[in-house]
Amino acid sequence: LHIAVLASILSLIIYWIIRDRYRVRNLNGKHVFITGCDTGLGNSLAKWLDKRGFCVIAACATEKGSQELQCCSSLSLKTVNLNLADSSSIARAVVFVTEQTAGKGLFGLVSNAEGSAPVGPTDWLRIEDFHLVLDVSLLGLIEITLKLLPLLKKAEGRVVNLINAKGLMAFVGGGYSLSKWGMEAFSDTLRIEMRYFGVKVSIVEHGFFKAEEVKSDIIEKNLFKLWNRLTPEIRDSYGEKYLVE
């Protein structure tokens, strides 16, 4: 029995070593589309994949973000403006990706963009506050994934959804945690369905990085903004002490 257990553990270790050493070969011509590349993780990933020879298509929310990324990347890296809350913008980006891949299909889709929404007690919020984040981080992600699936199926590519693990802890009201849990469910369902077509779907649950900063002053500013627009009845039910603490 002990020998069998040791053999199983050794086999598992060997499997993980072999799997982790696997590298994608022949990177030339393999296109990867990444959202949320203005700053942070998306920006770093676009540069990293570009240096390794992938054909990177980086989606940025601002023209400034596009220009700064192009300045420190190779000529093969292409950028496209993308607003995930706007279906027209998504459609234009899909056309751009289709043209860039030139019939080869899409090797990878990395979804990284996040909507920023005020956080606070749930009854301090309005429905539009939820839309601010859900329209980008969840519905926008779903829409662009659906429209790029034909290209991903053609290349037997992969979908990688980056999910900040702090969003999986529901300790504050708003759409942020809702979007992360929704991304998990969407990814899990898509993984099962796309297996038939040879398309891999992965979730990367990451934490904080050095590139990220918790802007407490912005959070505080948004909280006071929410507080100041509350009805007197809701404000009185919480009291000034609650706000301060």
Q: What positions carry a catalytic annotation?
A: 176
Instruction: Indicate the helix (H) or strand (E) that contains 31.
Output: strand 31-34
Cα–Cα distance measured from residue 148 to residue 130, given in angstroms and rounded to the nearest whole number? 26
- Is there a contact between 47 and 34 (Cβ–Cβ < 8 Å)? no
Nearest residue to 117 via CA among 104, 130, 105: 130
Q: Which runs of consecutive H residues, i.e. helices, occur in the chain?
A: 2-20, 40-51, 63-71, 87-101, 127-137, 139-155, 175-194, 216-229, 232-238, 240-244
At 207, list the tokens: 């934490």
Terminal CA-CA length for the chain: 58
**Identity of the residue numbered 204:** V
**Identity of the residue numbered 195:** R
Cα–Cα distance measured from residue 77 to residue 57, given in angstroms and rounded to the nearest whole number? 6
Nearest residue to 78 via CA among 67, 86, 87, 91: 67
Q: What would the DSSP string read from start to end of 135-164?
A: HHHTHHHHHHHHHHHHHHHHHT-EEEEEEE
